[in-house]
Amino acid sequence: MPGVRQGWSAGDRAWAAGKLMLAWIALLWLLEAVDVVTGHALDGFGITPREPSELADVVPSAFLHFGFAHLASNTLPLLVLGFLAALAGLRRFLLVCALIVLVDGLGVWLMSPAHTNTAGASGLIFGLFGFLLVSGFAERRPWGILAGVLIAAVWGGSILSGLAPTQTGISWQGHLLGLLAGVGAAFAFRRRAASRALTWEERP
C-alpha cells in the first residue's frame, strides 16, 4: 500500500510477546537463585513503608521474591497475563508495566503496615489482570471485552481472595493498588479508533 509500511503480523507479535515473558520469568528465577546463594541478601530490596531510603526499592521489589514457593505461585499468572497484555504491542506493554509497578510500589510504601517488608510480582499480576479486564471496554473492542470476561472467569476468584484484608502473609494493599493501577493504565494507554483501524500497519 503506497505511503504505508507493513508492520508485524499477529504471529510476529505473539512470538515477541512470548520471548519477552519467558525472558522476564527467567530473570525472576535467576534473581531468586542469587538471593538463595547469597543468604537472602536481596530480600533487603523489598519495600519497608515510609522510610525515605526505601523509595529506591519501589522498582526492584517487583522483581524479587521471598523464596521459590513465593516465586512459583506468581510464575504462571505473570506468564499468561503478561503474554496476553503484550500481544497489543511491546512498547505499550512496557509502559503499562512501568505505571503499575511505580503506582503499586509507591502505594505500598505509603499504606503498608510499619516494619513490614514487601516484595514480589503479585502487584504487577493484579495490575495486568485489571488492565486486561477493562481495556476492551475502554477501547470499545468486542473481542477485548470477551477476553476480559474470560480472564475474569478464570482468574477472578483468586484475584478477589487476594484482596481480603483478613489474609496473613500477603500484601492486600499491594494487590488492591496494583489492580487499580492496571485499570487506570487501560484508560491512560488505550488505543484510539484510528490506530485500531491499522491493526497490523504503521504510518511511515
pLDDT band at 83 (very low <50, low <70, confident <90, very high): very high
Q: Report CA dihedral (52, 55, 57, 59) to the nearest 10 degrees.
A: 180
Q: Which long-range contacts (CB under 8 A, 24 or more apart) does 71-78 make?
A: 71/28, 71/29, 71/32, 71/120, 74/28, 74/120, 74/121, 74/122, 74/125, 75/25, 75/28, 75/29, 77/125, 77/129, 77/155, 77/158, 78/21, 78/24, 78/25, 78/28, 78/121, 78/124, 78/125, 78/128
Q: Is the pLDDT of residue 81 over 70?
A: yes
Q: What is the SS3 assignment for 204?
A: coil
The dihedral through the CA atoms of 77, 120, 113, 183 has a sign that is negative
Render pLDDT for 21-59 as a digit per residue (tens, 0 to 9): 999 999 999 999 999 999 999 999 999 999 999 999 999
pLDDT score of 196 more than 80: no
* pLDDT at res. 148: 94
pTM for the full model? 0.90
String of DSSP letters for 44-106: GGSBPTT-GGGGGGTTGGGG--SSHHHHHHHHHHHHHHHHHHHTT-HHHHHHHHHHHHHHHHH
Give the tens place of pLDDT for each residue, 104-128: 999 999 999 999 999 999 999 999 9
The answer to which of 60-64, 135-139, 155-159, 199-203 has the lowest mean pLDDT is 199-203
